[in-house]
Amino acid sequence: MTKKTFKLNGHMFIAENCVAGVLINPVLPKDFDNTANEDRPASHGKFVKLPYIETYSDTDNDPVNDIDEYASKRRANWVESGRAAWFKAWPSGIRYDVRCLDGGAWDRPTSWGSFATLEQALGCAGAGPAWRNKV
């Protein structure tokens, strides 16, 4: 998908889209998902406390291109039950994951939740994760 440039909070971001101030599938800096918070370079700073959404489709989980010794078994399981389970959980075929570099995890952005619709994901991005908002 085509990426565009967006300006948020005085910073420039590259992403597929930006809806209601929430980046959709942003281009993340190198090692963004596996760097200890205390070791993060300045390039990660513009993402601090900025929730964003990453999308995943059923084809992202399809082991069709796997070639290791267990690949044929994973492919059979995917055809037999995995794909149906995916669509039961994510009826549109897309899963929307809300993530945020908020310090909730020591070495990666915190998962705020996975949602079946963009609207649900945007609601979480705006309100914060349900587990944090419980009284």
Residue 87 resides in a domain: no
pLDDT at 107 over 60: yes
CA-to-CA distance for 65 and 96, rounded, in angstroms? 23
pLDDT at 63 over 60: no
Residue 64 resides in a domain: no
Residue 77 resides in a domain: no
Tokens of 21: 């101030």
Residue 68 resides in a domain: no
Length of the chain equals 135
Q: What is the pTM of this model?
A: 0.86
122: number of Cβ within 10 Å: 20
pLDDT digits (tens, 9 = 90+) for 41-53: 999 999 999 999 9
Q: What pLDDT does residue 131 have?
A: 81
Residue 33 is part of which domain span? Answer: 4-58+93-133
Residue 81 resides in a domain: no
Find tokens 């005085």 and name the residue: 10
Q: What pLDDT does residue 51 have?
A: 98
Task: pLDDT band for 66, please (50, 70, 90 cuts).
Answer: low
pLDDT at 135 over 70: no
Exposure string of 75-107, with b = 16+ CB inside 10 Å and e = fewer, is beebeeebbeebeeebeeebbbbbbbbbebeee
Residue 97 resides in a domain: yes
Residue 70 resides in a domain: no
Residue 83 resides in a domain: no
Q: What pLDDT does residue 103 have?
A: 93
Across the strands, what pairs with 94? Answer: 57
Q: How many domains does the chain have?
A: 1
